[in-house]
Amino acid sequence: MSWELDEATAVELIRERLDSSPPREGETLIISGVEQRDWGWIVSWEGVRVPGPHRRTPPDRGVYLVDRQSGRVGMGVHALGLDASVEAWRRGDLADLPPV
C-alpha cells in the first residue's frame, strides 16, 4: 500500500518527537522551519531560551528528515552538513530513528 505524507503530518511526527525529548534547562523546543523536497520534508527545530539565568550556550538546534512515502524519520548530522546528511540517510548510511 502506498500513501503520501503531507506537511502537517510530517510536522506532527516531529512535534511528538520534540515533546517526548526533555529540553535543556532554560529552553523550549520549537519547530523553526519546514522545507519540502521531492523525497519528503526537512523539519528544522531549535531550543528557544525562556527568561532567566541560564549559562549554557548556544541553544540546541537541528533537523529531522521525514520520508513522504514511508513516514520514516532520520536526523541530520551537523558535521556532515544538510545535503550530505540527506544523501547518507537516503542511502541507508544513517539509521532511521525509532518511533516515539
Per residue in 57-92, pLDDT (tens digit) is 666 889 999 999 999 999 999 889 999 999 999 999
pLDDT at 2 over 60: no
Which three cell numbers mark 84?
550530505
CA 87/CA 20 separation, integer angstroms: 27
Residues 47/23, Cβ–Cβ less than 8 Å: yes
